[in-house]
């Protein structure tokens, strides 16, 4: 992001922004390599390709905020790898982390990884450090540290069904696992912030909080997310495009001030449930409209969204979730054009 974009984002989150309605997208490896015309494996393993792809997207759409911006990652293998998960990297498919916990008894043997040495974390940080000067020479800065959330990571280590079941059958062991993962994530974000002082934002992605009820969220989610978001940063961003019902009224208590939701959520309801204190980042269908829709489809979706959204403060127009595969440049331009046409 440029400094001007960061200033706009900060003002929007604070409720102090008075300018035109802004467009933004979460972009990462499911979309960016194919859009740039390279294999996913090349994007993951070549610093120059990674940098050129990220520079190309911000230069192609300079009016759009791409968050977190210059995201250094290895898909869903980024964090589980540190705990010993075997990771598969097909040449041009999404990577996958294989489960390592087959019984709750095995949780006791797991120790906290070292973020500067274990798994893919050292490569993630080093890519940013290697390219930091070039990023800044091109008018951008690294403003976010990024990770998946503790429930998301636990679901990869155990398997989603097994993890959710163990919340009920073995809560003590699950708390131990979540505490261990959270300790590791705190270290990850601290180290990135120390290494890159321009970082003033945090993005955590966790869809598993949408798979549990409110009582389970209060016990197994809220305490750990509060700890992660308890830091002096301007932007504290959460992505959860599964169900928002169990967590939405607790976002402010978590420390979240920017939220990317699933496309089926009604923004007026979300704004009411958060007392209009959390900036909403959405909320057009990502696949059916942004990726597969025509320009008239995009126009109708944007027009309808903006017409029915009562308050336009603390609002960035995006899709409900991250940028999906196969979104064309043409559709991104159309999206931005319609936000400008129908925005206040």
DSSP 183-248: HHHHHHHHHHHHH-TT--EEEEE-SGGGGS-HHHHHHHTHHHHHHHH-S--SEEEEEE-S--TTTG
Angle at alpha carbon of residue 128, lines to 127 and 131, rounded to 5°? 85
| Measured distance CA(248)–CA(251) in Å, rounded | 5
Bridge partners of residue 202, in order along the sequence? 145, 236
Q: What are the angstrom distances between the C-alpha of 209 and each of 100, 116, 172, 182, 206?
A: 21, 28, 18, 15, 6
pTM of the model: 0.96
Residues shown for the chain? 344
Q: Which residue has the tokens 């931005």?
A: 336
Angle at alpha carbon of residue 279, lines to 286 and 288, rounded to 5°? 10
Among 242, 259, 318, smallest CA distance to 285 is for: 318
Decide: residue 308, CB within 10 A, 0-12 exposed, 13-18 middle, 19+ buried.
exposed
Q: What are phi and psi of 282, to 5 degrees?
A: 180, -170
In the numeric block, which tokens belong to residue 339? 């936000």
Q: Do residues 199 and 144 make contact, with C-beta atoms less than 8 angstroms apart?
A: yes
**How do the pLDDT tens digits run along the chain, 344 residues long?**
999 999 999 999 999 999 999 999 999 999 999 999 999 999 999 999 999 999 999 999 999 999 999 999 999 999 999 999 999 999 999 999 999 999 999 999 999 999 999 999 999 999 999 999 999 999 999 999 999 999 999 999 999 999 999 999 999 999 999 999 999 999 999 999 999 999 999 999 999 999 999 999 999 999 999 999 999 999 999 999 999 999 999 999 999 999 999 999 999 999 999 999 999 999 999 999 999 999 999 999 999 999 999 999 999 999 999 999 999 999 999 999 999 999 97
Collect all residues with Cβ–Cβ distance below 8 Å to 228 and sequence separation of at least 6: 149, 150, 182, 185, 186, 189, 202, 204
* pLDDT at residue number 344: 76
Q: Can you tell me whether residue 239 is helix, strand or coil?
A: strand
Give, in words, the CATH class of 3-342: alpha beta
Among 64, 184, 45, smallest CA distance to 112 is for: 184
Q: Which residue has the tokens 């928002």?
A: 244
Q: Do residues 1 and 140 make contact, with C-beta atoms less than 8 angstroms apart?
A: yes
Which of 204-224 are b and which e, b meaning 16 or more Cβ less than 10 Å from the residue's Cβ? bbbbbbbbbeeebbeebbbeb
The secondary element (H helix, E strand) that includes residue 258 is strand 258-261
Domain chopping of the chain, boundaries: 3-342
| Measured distance CA(338)–CA(332) in Å, rounded | 10
Count of other CB atoms within 10 angstroms of residue 37: 9
Count Cα neighbours of 149 within 13 Å in the Cβ-side half-sphere: 26
């Amino acid at each position: 992001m440029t400094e001007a974009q960061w200033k706009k984002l900060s003002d929007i989150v604070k409720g102090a922004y008075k300018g035109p309605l802004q467009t933004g997208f979460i972009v990462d490896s499911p979309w960016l390599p194919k859009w740039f015309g390279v294999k996913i494996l090349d994007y993951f393993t070549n610093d120059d390709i990674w940098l050129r792809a990220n520079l190309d997207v911000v230069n192609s759409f300079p009016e759009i905020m791409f968050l977190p911006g210059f995201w250094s990652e290895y898909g869903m293998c980024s964090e589980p790898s540190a705990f010993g998960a075997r990771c598969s990297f097909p040449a041009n498919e999404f990577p996958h982390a294989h489960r390592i916990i087959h019984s709750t008894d095995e949780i006791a043997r797991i120790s906290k990884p070292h973020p500067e040495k274990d798994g893919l974390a050292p490569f993630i940080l080093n890519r940013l450090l290697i390219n930091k000067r070039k990023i800044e020479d091109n008018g951008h800065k690294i403003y976010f540290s990024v990770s998946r959330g503790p429930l998301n990571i636990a679901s990869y280590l155990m398997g989603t069904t097994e993890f959710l079941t163990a919340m009920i059958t073995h809560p003590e062991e699950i708390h131990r696992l979540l505490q261990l993962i959270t300790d590791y994530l705190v270290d990850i974000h601290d180290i990135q912030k120390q290494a890159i002082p321009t970082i003033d934002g945090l993005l955590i992605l966790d869809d598993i909080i949408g798979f549990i009820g409110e009582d389970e969220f209060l016990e197994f989610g809220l305490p750990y997310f509060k700890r992660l978001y308890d830091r002096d940063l301007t932007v504290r961003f959460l992505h959860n495009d599964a169900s928002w019902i169990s967590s939405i009224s607790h976002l402010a208590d978590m420390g979240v001030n920017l939220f990317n939701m699933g496309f089926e959520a009604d923004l007026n309801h979300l704004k009411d449930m958060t007392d209009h204190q959390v900036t909403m980042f959405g909320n057009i269908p990502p696949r059916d409209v942004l990726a597969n829709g025509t320009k008239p489809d995009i126009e109708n979706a944007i027009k309808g969204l903006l017409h029915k959204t009562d308050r336009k403060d603390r609002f960035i127009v995006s899709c409900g979730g991250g940028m999906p595969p196969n979104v064309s440049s043409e559709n991104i331009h159309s999206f931005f054009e319609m936000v400008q046409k129908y925005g206040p």
